[in-house]
Structure 1
Amino acid sequence: MNTARKLLIAALLGGLLAPLGACNTVKGVGRDIESVGEAGARALK
């Protein structure tokens, strides 16, 4: 297998795996925002 083909495969795998890591980050931010909203709602009661 030549070097160009190895680089292409590595780039494709990286491109496919990168969004999976970002999903956890986005989900975590969503949870943080939700908890702030719940705390605000409790404070207003």
Structure 2
Amino acid sequence: MTSDLRDTVPSGAFRARCLGKVEDWDPETGELVVHPVAIFK
């Protein structure tokens, strides 16, 4: 059932959990690049 799913992101900051694939990590900057599969708010 997909009737409860959204295809937009709310404006502003919000807390969420993300299921995704880690693409890259830069230990010098602390940047983690994740390709999201699903975001749960």
> What TM-score results when the alignment is normalised by the length of structure 2?
0.17
Structure number with greater Rg is 1
Higher helix share: 1
More strand by share: 2
The structure, 1 or 2, with the larger RCO (C-alpha pairs under 8 Å, 6+ apart) is 2
Q: TM-score, normalised by structure 1?
A: 0.16
